[in-house]
């Protein structure tokens, strides 16, 4: 590897991409290129995303491999004029790495900076004549590509699979489960949390009443603070709490209750029935998730992480109010969040979606079959609770799901392969 100073600019956008794509890639880059910032500097620039929480920049900056980060609010200025908000300097040689957003962005930015471009493409690769290299998830992504550009394509696998390689990476040990652990992943954005939090907590209450030894834990999304999460379980702040016949929950910190029935002290949500739901803030929570017998989750990148860890799940998409779901990607997400008219667009988009719905969970999309249950509609806690109890009573059903998830999750190593492509382009 040359010692000439180089810059690596990573373009990304949403919370899923930051945690499941950017994190493993920057780790792999440092492993291959070293930690000498005078030789290789890693920058992250975020573009706007309808699913963003506003904390993506802080999360990216928390990665020790990353040197500097620009938030999405300054993206258009950078795209148009090539200057960051803080007027960063750029070295004469470098590579733009696309890990989320629109594939036209690396074309424009690479041209302005005079850098090589590398695009990670899950399902579709565009601008074949303008991008230098494509790291694609599957061979199918490269099908139909002109022979003239075929040399640009390398199959690297699925970046989401990197989750399985990060098990045992958390700093705090997870106690060996003495009883069944059920994970709850209600999402990170208000559009999902408003219905997801009261629904999943009501399910947990139902299951706990029938099977009191069951533990429940929420791996809190890194873009979400505990007070905000708890507010969605408060009937005074969230009208959907009553929609699911849930009485609400209160946030309790360890110092406020020294007698928590838990093998380790964590913040908790305590529901009206007395159920304690532990809140796990350490990320990534792969150690914890790998010990869950089943998870209740909304749609999104979390289904890919669970699938990569071969953790059985029930995927929930409640539709008690059609305009509540506004976290779609691309133009639908932008329309659904417009001031004033967003509610109308959201209702139309979700009505159309429900009529044309395909597979939602990433493991099901990978397999093109419903490996894990997907429940969409006016969901009721009791019905889902009975489904969970049936799984707990018949562990062979969970074993079958795990085996199927193992069979479709593929090989790990995508991040290392992408890092090697970047190294090759820097050498050029």
Query: Considering the domain boundaries, does residue 174 fall inside one?
Result: no
pLDDT average, residue stretch 337-341: 54
The per-residue pLDDT for range 4-16, each reduced to its tens digit, is 899 999 999 987 7
Whether this prediction's pTM lies above 0.85 is answered by no
Query: Considering the domain boundaries, does residue 171 fall inside one?
Result: no
For residues 346 and 294, membership in a common domain is answered with yes
Query: Considering the domain boundaries, does residue 66 fall inside one?
Result: yes
The per-residue pLDDT for range 157-172, each reduced to its tens digit, is 888 777 555 554 443 4
Residue 337, pLDDT above cutoff 90: no
Radius of gyration of the chain (CA): 22
For residues 82 and 35, membership in a common domain is answered with yes
Give the per-residue pLDDT at 387: 97
Most confident of 38-52, 157-171, 248-262, 398-412: 38-52
For residues 365 and 316, membership in a common domain is answered with yes
Q: Supply the CATH number for residue 133's domain.
A: 3.40.50
For residues 402 and 257, membership in a common domain is answered with yes
Contact 389, 207 (CB under 8 A): yes
Higher per-residue pLDDT: 144 or 208: 208
Give the per-residue pLDDT at 350: 56
Average per-residue pLDDT for the chain: 85
Give the per-residue pLDDT at 336: 47
Return the HEC string of 34-48.
Answer: CCCCCCEEEEEEECC
The per-residue pLDDT for range 358-388, each reduced to its tens digit, is 688 888 988 889 999 999 888 999 999 999 9
Query: Considering the domain boundaries, does residue 46 fall inside one?
Result: yes
| CB atoms near residue 35 (< 10 Å) | 10
Three-class DSSP category at 276? strand
pLDDT average, residue stretch 187-210: 92
The per-residue pLDDT for range 20-37, each reduced to its tens digit, is 899 999 999 999 999 999
Query: Considering the domain boundaries, does residue 166 fall inside one?
Result: no
Three-class DSSP category at 265? coil
What span, in angstroms and rounded, lies between the C-alpha atoms of 345 and 336?
5
Give the per-residue pLDDT at 118: 97
For residues 244 and 215, membership in a common domain is answered with yes
For residues 363 and 272, membership in a common domain is answered with yes
For residues 418 and 400, membership in a common domain is answered with no
The per-residue pLDDT for range 54-96, each reduced to its tens digit, is 888 999 999 999 999 999 999 999 999 889 999 999 999 999 9
For residues 41 and 93, membership in a common domain is answered with yes
For residues 309 and 348, membership in a common domain is answered with yes
Contact 235, 248 (CB under 8 A): yes
Most confident of 116-130, 196-210, 249-263: 196-210
For residues 99 and 147, membership in a common domain is answered with yes
For residues 197 and 118, membership in a common domain is answered with no
Q: How confident is the model at residue 200 (pLDDT cuts 50, 70, 90)?
A: very high
Please give the residue range of the domain that contains residue 229.
181-408
The per-residue pLDDT for range 279-301, each reduced to its tens digit, is 998 877 888 898 999 999 998 87
Higher per-residue pLDDT: 310 or 183: 183
Q: For the chain, what is the domain count?
A: 2
For residues 344 and 279, membership in a common domain is answered with yes
Residue 140, pLDDT above cutoff 80: yes
Torsion sign across C-alpha atoms 24, 29, 32, 34: negative
């Amino acid at each position: 590897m040359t010692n000439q100073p180089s810059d690596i600019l990573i373009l990304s956008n949403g919370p899923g991409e930051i945690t499941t794509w950017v994190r493993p890639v920057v780790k792999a880059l440092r492993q291959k290129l070293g930690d000498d910032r005078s030789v290789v500097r890693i920058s992250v620039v975020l573009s706007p995303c309808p699913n963003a929480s506003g904390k993506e920049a802080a999360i990216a900056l928390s990665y020790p491999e990353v040197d500097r980060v620009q938030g999405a609010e300054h993206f258009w200025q950078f795209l148009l004029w090539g200057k960051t908000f803080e007027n960063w300097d750029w070295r004469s040689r470098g590579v733009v790495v696309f890990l989320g957003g629109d594939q036209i962005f690396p074309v424009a930015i690479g041209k302005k900076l005079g850098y090589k471009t590398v695009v990670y493409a899950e399902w579709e690769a565009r601008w074949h004549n303008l991008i230098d290299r494509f790291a694609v998830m599957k061979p199918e992504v490269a099908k139909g590509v002109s022979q003239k550009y075929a040399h640009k394509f390398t199959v690297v696998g699925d970046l989401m699979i990197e989750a399985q390689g990060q098990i045992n990476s958390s700093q705090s040990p997870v106690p060996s489960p003495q009883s069944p652990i059920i994970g709850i992943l209600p999402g990170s954005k208000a559009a999902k949390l408003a219905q997801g939090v009261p629904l999943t907590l009501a399910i947990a209450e139902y299951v706990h009443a029938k099977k009191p030894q069951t533990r429940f834990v929420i791996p809190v999304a890194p873009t979400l603070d505990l007070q905000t999460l708890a507010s969605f379980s408060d009937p005074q702040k969230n009208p959907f709490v009553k929609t699911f016949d849930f009485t609400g929950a209160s946030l309790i910190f360890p110092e406020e209750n020294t007698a928590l029935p838990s093998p380790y002290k964590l913040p908790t949500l305590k529901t009206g029935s007395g159920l304690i739901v532990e809140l796990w803030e350490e990320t990534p929570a792969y150690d914890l998730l790998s010990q869950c017998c089943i998870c209740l989750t909304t749609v999104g990148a979390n289904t890919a992480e669970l699938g990569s860890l071969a953790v059985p799940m029930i995927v929930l998409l409640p539709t008690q109010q059609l305009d509540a779901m506004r976290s779609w990607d691309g133009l639908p997400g932008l329309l659904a969040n417009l001031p004033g008219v967003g509610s109308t667009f959201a209702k139309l988009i979700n009505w159309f979606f429900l009529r044309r719905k395909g597979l939602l969970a990433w493991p099901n999309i990978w397999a093109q079959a419903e490996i894990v249950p997907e429940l969409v509609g006016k969901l009721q806690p009791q019905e889902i609770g009975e489904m969970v109890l049936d799984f707990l009573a018949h562990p062979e059903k969970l074993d079958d799901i795990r085996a199927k998830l193992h069979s479709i999750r593929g090989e790990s190593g995508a991040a290392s392969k992408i890092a090697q492509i970047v190294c090759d382009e820097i050498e050029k």
